[in-house]
């Protein structure tokens, strides 16, 4: 269809009040028209008017819950209302959007985004598109009370919405959460267009969350606008309280089909009395427990309580005195041991090494920061032990250990192509969260296969994030004993010490190449003719269009095709370009991995990396 011209982008957020309930919510957020004009004007108006009439009929005659409608060629049109609007308000919002779209006159396409609905039409199919260069946040002008506590609550609620919404059939969720200490409540919604895939919805919302992040801390209300999704939060309610979504079933690992039925029945007679008495006893026991220090319980490390303080002697016993048989691995930040708590929970305990004196003083603050990082593709830090000479970190335990064992270690060849693609995608989402979606930008600095752990379903979880903040200032982690780190490290960081998020993106590109090829990045391949490191070989194969030449020989050749491998190879090479401003950010990488649209930014090889 061509490039959009944003001749009108209105970024208005009511500073005095939010839109009232039971209205169409036609506060204009965004509008755009195509730069191309139709050739047959009378025919176009007949077709677009017919499409609008079809959309209106679908909304009017559908059931009360219908808030979405599309039409097919010759003009593709879509209307989607927020699910909390009544049918009458949805129709009113649609009518207002149609009226505004008339400003585009004979342009071949238009889109209008209100608080209450989204209208778009094009001459070309757009239903599978999730984002566009026009995506942007709209921050409110008003700050609220207890802004810090409000921000924390809003952040956690938005995190839950981004995870849950793609798993809900309608791709819509509304939720509210009271701010700790009372006095304020966060209201939020997330929605994706219903024509994209769950992974596309996830990617769009993660980008929206990245965009809206800049509003947190200075605005009590904000929106993130895109062509594939919508994200909004406020300290004032803009939907009915009884229209909230129960997110809990969709936050469980593996998601929810959204079709599970819950049977809620009345409890009668003696059974009801027994349950009430049991509840009273349970509450009494919990009250007694809360007065004592709870140790060794993996469940107490929650989002609200922060890190659990473990006793050194309990962790020593859990790991059998940090025995060799319990040792899981070694890393630049310390050795890791498997432990089993008294309640039977398995944990991973890291004995920190090389911690600076300054970091020791700030240890509790840094650990609390890391503990507040919650994402399904990041290892969860449960707590710590800071008493005595040794500093210990306690993590959730991953039975499938680290990715390097499955790429070129003792479990090489077990992962199929789909599993490898899923690992690449999950790792990208975890990094995007660290860079763009957490309230503090965390640069990992050591993205590599041994720092990617795998859960029971072989989903990736990034480990060791945030630990670089504990290193002595006089030492770089590059000088330590990690194997293969130099092969992952961006040239501007290794040579000049220039640190930015683009350092992690470079390492991620190398990681993609390792996952595809089954080769260690630091190994030299002497066949067929010249000595080549993995990145050098990847560039040569890409330039010769021999994409399948990079694929791990342990993979079934029928599992992947040349175009799919080419796409992964292009993303990897774009991520490893120099200078670093040529590399995309991680949210953009997630979008590349989520869609099948052509990679706009083709990789360009730079020769003089040392000069950057």
- Return the SS3 of 379: coil
CA distances from 387 to 350, 366, 390, 560 (A): 15, 15, 7, 52
Residue 191: name the closest of 90, 301, 295, 116 by CA: 116
CA distances from 35 to 2, 4, 498 (A): 7, 6, 41
Active-site position among 89, 115, 436, 446: 446
Concerning whether 40 is annotated as a catalytic residue, the answer is no
Rounded Cα gap, residues 135 and 154, in angstroms: 21
Q: Which residues lie closer than 8 Å to 334 by C-beta, 6 or more apart?
A: 350, 351, 352, 353, 354
> Rg of the Cα trace of the chain?
26
Find the Cα–Cα–Cα–Cα dihedral 401, 534, 498, 357, rounded to 10°.
Answer: 30
Residue 229: name the closest of 438, 428, 82 by CA: 82
Rounded Cα gap, residues 476 and 479, in angstroms: 6
Q: Which residues lie closer than 8 Å to 6 by C-beta, 6 or more apart?
A: 32, 134
414: which 2 tokens?
A: 């077990």
Q: Which residues lie closer than 8 Å to 61 by C-beta, 6 or more apart?
A: none
**Sign of CA pseudo-dihedral 17, 21, 23, 25:** positive
**Sign of CA pseudo-dihedral 532, 535, 540, 542:** positive
Residue 577: name the closest of 597, 548, 550, 607 by CA: 607
End-to-end CA distance of the chain: 37
Report the catalytic residues: 446
């Amino acid at each position: 269809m061509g490039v959009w011209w944003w001749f009108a982008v209105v970024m208005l957020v009511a500073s005095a009040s939010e839109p009232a309930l039971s209205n169409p919510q036609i506060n204009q957020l965004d509008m755009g028209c195509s730069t191309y004009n139709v050739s047959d004007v009378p025919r176009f108006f007949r077709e677009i008017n017919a499409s609008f009439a079809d959309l209106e009929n679908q909304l009017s005659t559908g059931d009360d819950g219908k808030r979405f409608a599309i039409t097919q060629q010759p003009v593709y049109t879509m209307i989607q209302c927020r699910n909390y609007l009544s049918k009458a308000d949805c129709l009113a919002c649609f009518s207002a959007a149609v009226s505004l779209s008339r400003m585009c006159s004979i342009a071949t396409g238009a889109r209008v985004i209100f608080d209450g609905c989204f209208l778009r039409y094009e001459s070309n199919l757009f239903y599978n598109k999730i984002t566009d260069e026009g995506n942007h946040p709209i921050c409110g002008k008003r700050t609220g009370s207890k802004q810090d506590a409000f921000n924390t609550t809003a952040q956690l609620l938005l995190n839950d919405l981004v995870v849950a919404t793609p798993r809900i059939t309608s791709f819509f969720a509304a939720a509210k959460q009271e701010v700790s200490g009372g006095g304020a409540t966060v209201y939020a919604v997330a929605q994706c267009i219903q024509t994209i895939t769950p992974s596309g919805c996830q990617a769009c919302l993660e980008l929206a969350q990245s965009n809206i992040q800049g509003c947190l801390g200075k605005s009590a209300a904000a929106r993130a606008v895109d062509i594939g999704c919508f994200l909004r939060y406020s300290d004032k309610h803009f939907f009915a309280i009884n229209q909230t979504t129960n997110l809990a079933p969709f936050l469980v690992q593996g998601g929810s089909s959204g079709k599970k039925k819950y049977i809620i029945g009345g409890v009668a007679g003696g059974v009801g009395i027994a349950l009430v008495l049991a509840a009273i006893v349970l509450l009494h026991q919990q009250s007694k427990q809360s007065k004592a220090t709870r140790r060794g319980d993996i469940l107490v490390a929650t989002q609200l309580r922060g890190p659990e303080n473990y006793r050194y002697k309990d962790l020593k016993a859990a790991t059998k005195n940090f025995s060799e048989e319990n040792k899981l691995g070694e890393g630049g930040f310390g050795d890791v041991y498997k432990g089993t708590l008294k309640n039977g929970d398995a944990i991973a305990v890291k004995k920190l090494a090389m911690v600076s004196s300054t970091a020791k003083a700030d240890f509790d603050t840094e650990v609390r920061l890391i503990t507040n990082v919650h994402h399904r593709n990041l290892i969860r830090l449960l707590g710590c032990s800071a008493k005595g000479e040794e500093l210990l970190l306690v993590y959730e335990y991953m039975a499938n250990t680290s990715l390097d064992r499955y790429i070129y270690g003792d479990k090489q060849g077990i992962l199929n192509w789909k599993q490898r693609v899923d690992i690449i995608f999950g790792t990208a989402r975890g990094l995007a969260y660290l860079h763009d979606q957490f309230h503090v930008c965390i640069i990992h600095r050591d993205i590599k296969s041994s720092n990617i752990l795998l859960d029971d379903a072989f989903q990736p979880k990034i480990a060791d994030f945030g630990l670089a903040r504990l290193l002595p200032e006089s030492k770089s982690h590059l000088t330590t004993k990690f194997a293969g780190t130099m092969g992952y490290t961006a040239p501007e960081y290794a040579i000049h010490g220039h640190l930015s998020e683009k350092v992690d993106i470079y390492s991620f590109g190398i990681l993609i190449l390792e996952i595809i090829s089954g080769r260690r990045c630091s190994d030299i391949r002497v066949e067929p003719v010249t000595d080549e490191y993995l990145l050098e070989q990847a560039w040569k194969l890409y330039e010769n269009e021999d994409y399948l030449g990079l694929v791990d020989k342990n993979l079934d050749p029928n599992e992947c095709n040349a175009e799919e491998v080419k796409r992964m190879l292009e993303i990897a090479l774009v991520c490893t370009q120099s200078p670093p401003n040529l590399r995309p950010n991680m949210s953009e990488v997630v979008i590349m991995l989520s869609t099948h649209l052509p990679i706009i930014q083709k990789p360009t090889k730079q020769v003089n990396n040392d000069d950057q």
